[in-house]
Amino acid sequence: MADAGPAHLILAVETSCDDTCAAVVTAGGEIRSNVVASQGLLHERYGGVVPEVASRRHLEVTGPVVADALERAGVELAGVDLVAATRRPGLIGALLVGLSTAKALAAAWELPFTPVDHLHGHVVASTLGERPIEAPYLCLVASGGHTFVARVDHPASYAVLGRTLDDSAGEAFDKGARLLGLGYPGGPAIDALAAEGDPGAFDFPRSRPGAELDFSFSGLKTALLYTVRDIGEDEVRERAADLAASYQRAIADVLCLRLREAVERERVDRVAVGGGVAANSELRARVGRLGEELGCEVWIPGLALCTDNAAMIAAAARFLEPMHYPTYLDLDASARAVEPVAKGA
Ligand code: KG4
Ligand code: ZN
């Protein structure tokens, strides 16, 4: 049970990028509803997320998505005890829609409100459900915008042990997929294609920058670019599955290597993964095996809790101090990521 104060039912809204999300979660971490309206198809033709298009779609669907989440949970707004929303980081226009909507809903009922950092949501996604992880634990977060390994001593915060110095793992997937002529988002496309390929067919670099637990994926992306140029269009088409499998193997290798080093260094025997890349089938299997090998208990959330969702935002809100009406009314969204100050270390 979380130390969440009096709030029993939490309504959370998340619109930091291209998914419009709302969820109802109990203070004990039970997910009553978790609705995601994906804009994937809308952005596919541009090969990436177009910020203005994303904001406009959020404006259209945030209301209905919130209504849907409440209905699926079998509650009305009057029955909600706390409202939460993603405040940062992300696309500023997209964030503003969800944050403003959530603040307005809270204000209309004079409810408390909790602003949440999106990355904190990914870190604590495994605290939800029937087998909640308990601190201390290590969490590998690999998403479209960020990649880091964190130590969680109390779920109100986390300490980053190592992070990517350039591209995120999700960007590596998305940029790699573009080089292979696959659609957007690239992660699921590479994941599916890799299942038919030989992961040992191409030898891609595994970068380990510096002595810390940092990551770097830009060299890997460049290596794929050169390989694609060298072998030519026809061979790329013929061997796309081998390229995808080898590229995916390189990303999973680096992520698992750093996770292993973090476990060995921190001597923490509980490990979780989060973020969209944690939906990757190879990474999921490999992290499971790593746990067995190192004698760690592993939490790999269901796919809906890895990719962007509002249940994880509610999860984080359970551990934070809420703001009371009307102090949150002039709270602003912020595009930038802010490193947390770890508590309870
Ligand atoms: O966490 P997320 O949904 O959004 C951000 O916070 O960025 O992560 C999105 C990223 C994208 O780069 C997408 O390609 C990647 O997660 N992704 C995957 C898979 N599903 C989503 N990457 C690899 N394999 C997947 N199955
Ligand atoms: Zn995310």
Residues 121-152 pLDDT 10s: 999 999 999 999 999 999 999 999 999 999 99
Ligand 2 midpoint to CA 59 (Å): 19
Q: pTM for the full model? A: 0.95
Taking CA atoms only, the protein residue closest to ligand 1 atom 14 is: 187
Closest by alpha carbon to 80, among 310, 302, 285, 308? Answer: 310
Rounded CA-CA distance 191/188 in Å is 5
∠ CA 340-316-25 to the nearest 5 degrees?
A: 170
The amino acid at residue 331 is L
Residues 261-294 have pLDDT tens digits of 999 999 999 999 999 999 999 999 999 999 999 9
Strand ranges (E), 66-144: 82-88, 113-117, 137-142
Taking CA atoms only, the protein residue closest to ligand 1 atom 5 is: 144
Ligand 2 midpoint to CA 216 (Å): 19
Ligand that lies nearest to the alpha carbon of residue 169, given by its number in the listed order: 1
Based on its alpha-carbon atoms, the radius of gyration of the chain, rounded to whole angstroms, reads: 20
Tokens of 72: 């699926």
- Cis status, amide bond into 185, omega within 30 of 0: yes
Q: Tokens 């994906």 belong to which residue?
A: 38
Q: What is the pLDDT of residue 46?
A: 84
Q: What is the pLDDT of residue 341?
A: 63
Q: What is the pLDDT of residue 42?
A: 85
- DSSP secondary structure letter of residue 126: G
Rounded CA-CA distance 94/90 in Å is 8
Is the separation of the CB atoms in 310 and 13 below 8 Å? yes
Residues 38-82 have pLDDT tens digits of 987 888 888 888 899 999 999 999 999 999 999 999 999 999 999
Ligand 1 midpoint to CA 118 (Å): 14
Ligand 1 midpoint to CA 80 (Å): 31
Taking CA atoms only, the protein residue closest to ligand 1 atom 18 is: 187
pLDDT at 32 over 70: yes
Give the ligand 1 atom nearest the CA of 192. 26
